[in-house]
Structure formats: structure tokens, C-alpha cells
Amino acid sequence: MQPSLPLTCPTIDEETIAGVAEVLRSGWITSGPKVKAFEAALSTLFGGRPVRAFNSGTATLEVALRLAGVGPGDEVITTPLSWVATSNVILTVGARPVFVDIDPVTRNIDLARIESAISPATKAIIPVDLAGLPVDRDRLYEIAKRHGLRVVEDAAQSMGSSWRGQLIGSIGDLVSFSFHPNKNLTSIEGGCLVMTSEAEAKLAEQYRLQGVVRTGMDGMDVEVLGGKFNLTDVAARVGLGQLVRLDEFTSKRRELVRAYFAQLDMPAVHALGLGLPIADFTQSNWHMFQVVLPENAALTRAEVMAKLQVLGIGTGVHYPAIHRFTLYRSLGHAEGDYPLAEAVASRILTLPLFPSMTLADVSRVTEALIQVLQA
């Protein structure tokens, strides 16, 4: 059997590893100078906007909702096709998630359906850029402005993506990124929140660490209920090493995806009923390459994944439809509520994609996938 090809694998260079060793030797390994340097570098990337780093992209979403004033009795509109954290944070702050079905072409939330879901209780919208393909920011913000809603962009998958030439994070309202190991930029675990003002950034710092405010040498107060969401200097040093290579990583991902399309976007493959994503090589960062398996295929998705695994190829599912989970069914959501999301979620399959892959790896994946589907 050929060597195993994983679904994803972070690229950590030797300079970064050496930098982490320096941090460990420094004795300052929790939040400190490297976190501040990482935040400053991210702020520069996003055009000078205030940025604060956190220990996860889930924490950034929760804090963003709190900054937006979302709480008990409020509703937040989002997509059912995302990692469950997107809606879990809405429940965490005491609000109610209101799902809107997807556009089956982009696989993102269908903006045409949002306004019919808005009620007097609606406080915010959380769009998700699935696989790094940006939601139409112009149309999104026009809707939000017309109804006086805050937008918390779940840009967990969008580091390096852009909208009409503007980097995601450099525009918009509250923008949340994840630096999980499977993301285009990793800090091992972590995330950052881009905000609209220094006042929001100051409040975010309080939410990040138990609500604490320090003054002078020994002054301390707690004004709001915060959590334990701070990033370590070790993680920040990894993030700094990744940030300088972000353009390189994005370019390599696009090269690999072009190869995927060259080998899958052809009549023989279309005849198998395989669904491909939108071929966007300008705005998407290609966080993931996802296909939709044929409807009514002889093999289930699990069987396809198992056969590919035997061939040494890792795959993933991103994501099951959130409203079908037991927790969300207990809140009143039901099978059939969002049929487009359900159809995609039941057949979507994520194929290997990461910067250290080769074009030969892509060929290996596509040949194996076609072989399994034809068999």
C-alpha cells in the first residue's frame, strides 16, 4: 500500500520550531510579548483594524456575540451547514439560533432567504464562508443595514480569502477567524477577532480573561463576566511563523485545486454524477476541496470513505447538518426543515488539500475516487 495521504497536515518550518524553543526558554510562555506581536501583525494585515487573539475560533465567536449585545431572548440567523460551534455559541450566550437554508451552488447561506427569517427578536447574522468561499458581502451588509442588525462573520475558514479585492477581515463588522491545525494558518489552537473600534477591543480583552481590568501596580477590578480565552505566547509564535507564509500557502492551495479541477471537471466524471464546487481562483483561499457524491449511488459515503482509506487516502465530512443533531432537534428543529442543506450535508466529502501536497498526490486522489465511484 502507498504511504498514507492524510486529509490535512500543517506546514511548520524549522525557523518557527526554533522560535517556539526560544519562547519556551524565555520563561514567558503564556500571554505576553509574542501575543502582542501577533496581534499587531494581524492588525497590519487587516488594514490597521483592532485585533485580539484568543485560544480558539469558538471563543472569538462567543465574544463577538457579547460585543454585539446578543443575549437571552435574542435570535441570531445562521446556516445549518457549518461546524456546530457556529450555532453552539448562540446558545451559550442565551440566544436562539434561527437557521436559513443554503444556496446549493455556493453551499453558503442563501441570502435571498434571510429577510423572511428576520423577526423583532433578531439581533445579528452569522454567515459562514464554507471552505473559504466568501458569502456575498455587498448583499449581506445591505440586508443587515436595512434591518439594523450586527454581522458576526464566521470567517474561521477564510484566512486569505477576499471579497472584490479586499481581504476578508479588512472590511465588515465583527470578523472571527480560527487558527485550528486544519486551517490555512495555524497557531496550533487559537483564533482572532477583528473589531470596529478600540472600545470594542478593550471590552474583548475583559471578556477574554475573567473580566479583569488592571490599574497601576496592584489595582484590579472585574466589570463583566469573562472567560478563560487567552492565547499563549507559544501558540502566538507559531502563528507569527505562519503569517509570513500565508500568501505562499494560498498560492499552493490554488495550484493544487486547479489540478483537481483539471482531472475531475470532465464529461466522464460528470457522467458519474459527482458535484464539484465553484471554481473561484480569485476570492477563495481554498481552505477545503469538497465534492458532493452522486445521488442514489450504489455506495454510501461511509463506504466510499472506507475504500479510499484502504487505498491510503484520508477524507472528511464538513459538515453534518446542525439541525439534525439531537440537541437541536430537542429545540424544535426537525428533519426536512432545510432540505437543501440536508441534501448537501448527506453527500459532501472533503478530499485531501494542504500546502505540502504534490500534484502527484492530487492525481492519486482523483484516480482513486474515480475508481471507487466507477466500481
3-class secondary structure, 123: strand
C-alpha cell of residue 32: 505576553
CB within 8 A of 203, min separation 6: which ones?
67, 224
Confirm if 285 and 250 have CB atoms less than 8 A apart.
yes
Q: What angle do CA 137, 142, 145 make, to 5 degrees?
A: 120
Compute the radius of gyration of the chain from its Cα atoms.
21
Torsion over CA: 205, 211, 217, 219 (sign): positive
* CA–CA separation, 62 and 162 (whole Å): 24
Confirm if 118 and 77 have CB atoms less than 8 A apart.
yes
Q: Which residues pair with 176 in a beta bridge?
A: 154, 193
CB within 8 A of 24, min separation 6: which ones?
234
Confirm if 301 and 318 have CB atoms less than 8 A apart.
no
Confirm if 223 and 206 have CB atoms less than 8 A apart.
yes
How deeply is 232 buried, as exposed, middle or buried, from its count of CB atoms within 10 A (0-12, 13-18, 19+)?
A: buried
Given the residues 183, 202, 228, 252, select the one marked as catalytic.
183
Active site residue 183: yes
Confirm if 221 and 89 have CB atoms less than 8 A apart.
no
Active site residues: 183
